[in-house]
Every structure is written in structure tokens, then in C-alpha cells.
Amino acid sequence: MTTHRTYPSGFTLIEVLVSVSIFAIVMLVATGAVFTIVESNKKTHTLKSVMTNLNFALESMARDMRVGSNYRCDGVGDCPSGGTTFIYKANRDVDGDGFYNIGDGNDQIEYSVSGGRLMKRVYSNGLPAIPITASEIQITSMKFYLYGSPALDNRQPKVLITIQGYAGTGQTRSDFNIQTTVSQRSIDS
Ligand SMILES: [Ca+2]
Ligand SMILES: [Ca+2]
């Protein structure tokens, strides 16, 4: 003899609706979180490559300055209170005319900031200054503090460079404050 017992089976419409709603909400939140992570990852990546660009520009500037000579700040000599342009004589034919003479006014390089970008200008190839940092980087201040540039002052020319600025906007904005010191390698006095 068999007995039929009744078990509650299946789901009521309300249960199904509630489950589906909860599932939908959870999925929505999870998807949103994934998108946020992907987006911020993308921004972090962009910021990283931008900062790599800045570091590369500063590194190459410092490396070339070090082997140069005749350092001048704002067109004159020392500027202990900070100048905005820096000129030096490169150690080779940088203007591409096939000549190099340590004593003439050619083959000089000038660095300054314009429109938030680090600009490099080569004398005297007649070409305008070119930006060497990415447009995503905004340099708000760049100062050169030069000491020891006069001959026979028993000090090697030495320049402290300070750079402030930022990259990115809003929540991804990242500020930087960089300092670097360059000493002229060849003995001046
Ligand atoms: Ca030259
Ligand atoms: Ca000196």
C-alpha cells in the first residue's frame, strides 16, 4: 500500500520574482564594480605612461646638461633665487651644421616651460623650441637655481632644478614635485 504525502514543491510567483530581483540587483552592482575597476585601471595605466614620459624627458635633459658647459640662467650667470630658462653649451654639434667650436655661440641648448610643457630649443639651427613632455602633463612651475657659474670662483657650476605639476584630471589627477641636481662634469675653475 502506498501513501501519498504532499510536500511543498516548486516556488510561488512571489518567491520567483523576489529571487530574480535580488539576482538582478547583485548583477548590476557587480557589473558596475567591474566597469569601475576596468576604467580606473585604464586611467592608472595612462597616468603611468605619462609619468614615464616625464621621467624620460628629465633624465635626458639632466644627462646632456651634465656634459655641457657655460651654464647660464635667464640669460645671465648664477640665479640663486631661481630662474625660468636655462641655457648651456652642448658638448657636440647639436644644431647639425657640421661644425663644433667650444667658443662660439652655436650648439647651445635652452630649456624653459611654455603652455605647461617643457620646451627645448637648439641654437642656432633656426628651429623653434619643441615640447619634450607629453601634452597630458601640466608643468605649473619649473625653476633653475644655478650656482658657481662664474669662472675662477672656485666652485663648479651646479644647478638645482625643481618641477611642480600634475597629470590627469578629477579623481585621477596626480600631482608631482620633482627635484634634481646637475653638476657640470668638466672642471670650470
Ligand atoms: Ca654646430
Ligand atoms: Ca665656477
Q: How do the domains of the chain map onto residue ranges? A: 40-183
* pLDDT tens digits, 5-32: 666 678 899 999 999 999 999 999 999 9
SS3 15: helix
The helix, strand and coil proportions of the chain, stated in percent and rounded to the nearest 5, come to 30, 35, 35
Q: 161: closest CA among 88, 61, 13?
A: 61
Task: Tell me, in angstroms, the distance from the centre of ligand 2 to residue 21's CA.
Answer: 78
- Residue 183, beta-bridge partner list: 158
* pLDDT tens digits, 55-109: 999 999 999 999 999 999 998 899 999 999 999 999 999 999 999 999 999 999 9
Q: Give the residue, 7 or 129, on which the prediction is more confident.
A: 129
178 has a pLDDT exceeding 90? yes
Let me know how long the chain is: 189
SS3 157: coil
Task: Tell me, in angstroms, the distance from the centre of ligand 1 to residue 126's CA.
Answer: 12
Reported as type and span, the H/E element at residue 131 is strand 130-131
- Residue 178, beta-bridge partner list: 163
Task: Tell me, in angstroms, the distance from the centre of ligand 2 to residue 180's CA.
Answer: 20
For 44-114, strand residue ranges (E) read 69-73, 79-83, 86-89, 108-114
- pTM of the full predicted structure? 0.80
Task: Tell me, in angstroms, the distance from the centre of ligand 1 to residue 96's CA.
Answer: 5
